[in-house]
Structure formats: C-alpha cells, structure tokens
Amino acid sequence: LQSLSLSTTYSENIAKMVSSITHEVRNPLTSVSGFLQLIKQTNDIALIHQYTDIALGELTRANDLITDFLTLSKSQSNEITPLSINELLINLYPVFKSEANLKDINLIADFCADKALCTVNRQHLTQIFVNIVKNAFEATETNLLSRQKEVRITTTVCKESLVIMIKDSGCGMSKTQLSNLFTPLQTTKKNGTGMGLYVCKQLIEKYAGTVNVESTVNKGTTIFFHFPIYVKVN
Ligand code: ADP
Ligand code: MG
C-alpha cells in the first residue's frame, strides 16, 4: 500500500513537472510566433530588427529552460570524483574575465593556494559557478546607482570546508525577493528562466554543500558556498 501511494505521489510530481515545463517553454514559443506574424506584416526595417531581436531572445530563453530542466532530470546519474574546486575556479576565471571586460565590469579574484579536494561532479560545479557569476554580472549591469561596477570571487579554507564567496555591486534584493530566491520559475528579468538558482541549490545539496545569501537593495549581493573537504592536499 505504501509503495502504491509513494508511486502515486511520484507520478503526480512528474505530471506537475511536465505541465510546468510545457507551460514555461510554450510561453516563449508563443511569443516567437507572435513576433514572426508581426514581421510578416511590416516593411519597416527598424521594426523587423526590433522584432527579430525579441524573438531571438525568447528562443534563447526557451533553450535555457530546457537546459535547466535537463540538468534536474540527469542529476541522479553523474560521475562524482575528488576535485579541487579552487582549481576549477582558477580555470574558469579567464572565461569570466573576458565576459566582465565586455560588460565593463571589474572582476577581481582572490584564490587561496589550497588544493583541498571535494567529492563533486565537475560539470555540475561548473554549472553552479557559471550561473551565479552570470547573475552577479546581470545584477551589476542593471545597477545604475553603483559608481564602481565590481564583482569579486574569493576562495578560502575554513575548518573542514572550502568556502567560495561571490560578491557583486549589483541591484541587490529585497527581503521578500531573498525569501523566494530558490523557488523555481521566479524571475525579475525579461528573458530570465527563474530556474538557475533552483538548479544550483539542488546541485549544491547533492554534494552536501550549503549556500547563504546576503543582499542589500542598490548595494549588492554576496553569496557564500561551503563544500566539505574530502582530502587535504597542500
Ligand atoms: P534568472 O537569472 O533566469 O532570473 P535565477 O534563478 O538565476 O533566474 O535567479 C532568480 C532571480 O533572483 C533573478 O531573476 C533575480 O531577481 C534574483 N537574483 C539572482 N541573483 C541575483 C544577484 N546576484 N543580485 C540580485 N538579484 C539576483
Ligand atoms: Mg540566472
């Protein structure tokens, strides 16, 4: 009886998930179809460009949503190996730096020398930091009040954990926004999916990590991650 009720709950959850995926992916597709109709009806080159950009943005959003949902469905079956998260970040840094330069953001990194290993999946950890740094850049770009556009990445070892801090000088968040931060499909961005942080949280918890967020409106946001160290290498 118990397994029957468990499997009912499971299939109910799957049904809910499928319905939300369908709904969320259909929205941008409907919007693309609307803008294609508008393009068909006009000869105004400026309008055609404007509508094409919106349609392309909506297609990117649909694609991002599918990527996020796929990560969730695959998160049970990936290879977990001892990895230096510090080195992973050092390797990702040039990619972040060139993105920051394009956006006129001053990216500052302060990586510790520690090579402590954590048991994690490389792709998942990459996805977490790409998502978080992307959010930090987007928030910093939209904060017109900040004098200095700055994002800072710091790593340290504290007790038995590797601590990663990502601090931005972005638009920040209100208390209400903060309390809904990891709820799926919550976004304040025109082309946002609202899935990035939800996926991050699932992945962080999968590796026994924690994430904490501090934020002040118009000043910025700081995100702290702790991942338990599996082997110390010095
Ligand atoms: P998306 O980026 O697609 O909107 P996320 O799950 O990555 O989805 O983020 C959800 C929301 O959380 C964002 O829309 C934004 O409102 C808020 N947020 C996330 N990171 C930051 C940040 N560094 N500064 C300010 N707001 C943020
Ligand atoms: Mg995001």
Report pLDDT digits (tens) over 84-126. Answer: 999 999 999 998 999 999 999 999 999 998 889 999 998 899 9
Residue nearest to atom 7 of ligand 1 (CA): 196
Tokens of 74: 């695959």
> From the CA of 233, how far away is ligand 1's center (Å)?
35
Summarize pLDDT for 131-146 with one digit per residue, the tens: 999 999 999 999 888 7
pLDDT on residue 3: 44
Q: How far apart are CA 50 and CA 41, in angstroms?
A: 14
Average pLDDT over every residue of 199-227? 95
Summarize pLDDT for 34-80 with one digit per residue, the tens: 999 999 999 999 999 999 999 998 899 888 888 888 877 765 557 88
pTM of the model: 0.81
How many Cα atoms are found within 13 Å in the side-chain-facing hemisphere of 131? Answer: 25
What radius of gyration do the chain's Cα atoms show? Answer: 20
> From the CA of 151, how far away is ligand 2's center (Å)?
15
Residue 92: which region, alpha, beta or left (left: phi > 0; alpha: psi -120 to 50)? alpha
Strands 161-168 and 150-158: antiparallel
Taking the CA of residue 140 as reference, the ligand 1 atom at the shortest distance is 24
Average pLDDT over every residue of 167-176? 96
* 189 ligand 1 Cβ < 6 A: yes
pLDDT on residue 73: 73
Report CA-CA distances (Å) from 105 to 112, 126, 186, 200, 214. Answer: 22, 21, 26, 23, 21
pLDDT on residue 79: 81
* 220 ligand 1 Cβ < 6 A: no
Q: How far apart are CA 155 and CA 166, in angstroms?
A: 9
